[in-house]
Every structure is written in C-alpha cells, then in structure tokens.
Amino acid sequence: MAEPEQPQIYLITPPEIELARFPSMLDRVLRDHEIACVRLALSTHDETALCRAADTCREVAHGHDVAIVIDTHFVLAERLGLDGVHLTDGSRTVRKARKELGPDAIVGAFCGTSRHDGMSAGEAGADYVSFGPAGVSALGDGSQAEAELFEWWSQVIEVPVVAEGALDASTVAQLSTMTDFFGIGDEIWRSDDPSAALGELVAAMR
C-alpha cells in the first residue's frame, strides 16, 4: 500500500511585519523549505501599508514560484497581482470573491471549527477550507478544531483542508495523515530562527 502524501506547508505571515527585515526572513524560509503558498495576514487596515507589504512579499514569493494570497481584501488581490484571497468569514463571501477574481484565482475560506460552514464554503467554490485552531489555544473562545473533524473531512470531502492555529510537533504528528496543508505562522516567526523552527515541524510529519 502506498504511503499517504505528506501535507504541504501553507506559510502565514505575522500580523505585523517590518519591511526592512521580514522579506529576507521570508526569502530564507522559501529557499530552505518547499512551500505551497504564502498568506499575507496583516492586522493593519491601512491600504498604503498593505500595498507596500503585498508588493514586497509578492516579489519574494513569486521569485520562488510560490503563490501568494491576501487575507480578506479580495479587491486588492487582483490590483496587486496576487494569486488570490483567504477569506476569514467562513462561506459568506466565497461566491462574491470568486465572481470578482475569476475561476483561476485561489479562494480559500477559514471556517473555524464548523463542519457545516466548511461544506458550504466548498459548495460555494472555495479551493480549500481551513479549520482551527488545531491545537490548544488560550486565545479566542477556547474552541478547538478536533482531530475528528479533520479525519472526517479527509475521508468524506474532496475539497483540500488546511489545519492551522496553535500547532506544535505533537499536533502536527497527529494530524499529518488527516490534512492536506498545515497553515504555519506565529509558530515559527516567534523563533530566532524561523527556518529551523519550520524544519522541526516538518520533521514531525514523517
């Protein structure tokens, strides 16, 4: 029997980035590891700051032939030459984003812990559905996307699934046969050596 394919890495930027330092950090991670996609997940709503960050990170990502999407702002995605959008409101704006961006753009949806919302997003045309936090987190309302959700999804639904949020080596090892992607962000950017920190999580998948 063939071994199941190892999940791919979906890299998430920190909520705040320093343009003098972050692009070189991102470049090293993309150079050292095979990354499927980068998500620009900034907390700012300042359009100028978003555009500058998007231009810089797009240049780095596309230099490695890696797709890059932006959180929420699908109007900016096309204007800035990005590859798509990651929606944070479940299935609610999937159809609208798909209509705006066209059939070739990446449209993903974060659906928290809701199986129903994930199915609705898939039916509305999402390219992937993301659930989280997959690990135990003190943030938010304390809810967690349990392993059973990923196991059920991987067995029943064809839309690719992303596990993200509060990931550690043990959670990665547990979910590696049940998810298509791991959305990894703060878990590595808090480290002095993000590339090495990612390497440890990748090793836990094997």
Task: Give the chain's residues under pLDDT 70.
Answer: 1-4, 138-140
Q: Sign of dihedral through CA atoms 62, 68, 70, 76?
A: positive
pLDDT at 5: 81
Domains and CATH numbers, the chain: 8-204 (3.20.20.70)
Q: Where are the alpha helices (DSSP H) in the chain?
A: 22-32, 47-63, 74-79, 94-101, 115-124, 147-156, 169-175, 186-189, 194-204
Kindly report the pTM of this predicted structure: 0.95
Integer angstrom CA distances of residue 149 from 74, 138, 158, 161, 182:
28, 20, 14, 10, 15
Crossing angle of helices 94-101 and 115-124, rounded to 10°: 30
Strands 8-12 and 35-40: parallel
pLDDT at 84: 98
pLDDT at 206: 83
The count of other CB atoms within 10 Å of the CB of residue 48 is 8
Integer angstrom CA distances of residue 154 from 22, 126, 131, 167:
34, 16, 12, 19
pLDDT at 204: 97
Q: At 93, list the tokens.
A: 């704006």
pLDDT at 141: 74
CA geometry: angle at 128 spanning 155 and 148, to 5°? 35
pLDDT at 3: 47
The half-sphere exposure of 63 on its side-chain side, counting CA atoms within 13 A, is 14
pLDDT at 1: 36
Q: At 167, list the tokens.
A: 């990931």
